Amino acid sequence: MKLKLFLLFVCGALAVQAGDSPVVIQVGSSKVTLEDLQKLKDSASAEQVRAATMDAVFRPLRDQKAVELILETAKSKENLSSDPEVLKMMKEAQKAIEMQVFLGREVQKRITDDKLKVIYAEVLKKVKNQKEMEVSIILTGNEGEANIVLAELNTGKDFSEVAQKHSIEPNTKKQGGRVGFLIEGAISEVLGPDVAQSLKVLKDGVHSKKVIKTKDGKFLIVRRGSSRAAVVPQFEELKPQLVSMYSQKGLIEYIDEIKKTLGAKVFTMDGKPDTLQIVPKKQ
């Protein structure tokens, strides 16, 4: 009898231990626990989600998962795996994926260091005689917060410390707001024309005296650090970007080559021989 009671006690304790993570979502018989949500957060593709505390992301993460589970539960009742429309769309999707893989492999075959070095030389030519400046930012969610930040900076507080305290931009917050060195000509594309204009008139080591509104409705203060002649990364460092830059050119080369091999021809509306334009001419 004592042994039975002991076993019941152990089994009960184990059951409590195994199920001690509270349920945060329930849809029908399906349940999601806080532990499940933690695993979802830890495997998120966005670095800012992984780095955030569970308290900060719990509600949006839970609600997103709840909506997914609601829709998945509703969908499962329709038994769409053999539905003709679904099968047709899957077939079309498969064709698109196959083409993407095929073209990717064909372009990869044509990539050589000599071809990439031609592109690298063009990059060097573009940045020759250009300057770059060290840029730091503090991003806030509204204008009121931005004005508080600006007031702190105007009292002489260190920009890096204020950025770590107030900035909501996760990629630069830990570095004291530091974005890094940016070529002057690229700042407008990276941070927007208003930021580029502000940095242009600032002296080294000075922050903007006005709050700048971003195109997505947030507000920031920017600081110009030291300036220097533009430094281009070495070939090997830039190689992944060079491969990406070559991809379209490599695709055109492949199509031009294979059209000759296959004897491909195009004609005008009245049946006369015409020229195939792989890339449409700009109007």
Per-residue pLDDT at 19: 53
Per-residue pLDDT at 272: 96
Give the chain's residues under pLDDT 50: 1-18
Opening angle at CA 164, ends 159 and 166, nearest 5: 90
Per-residue pLDDT at 278: 85
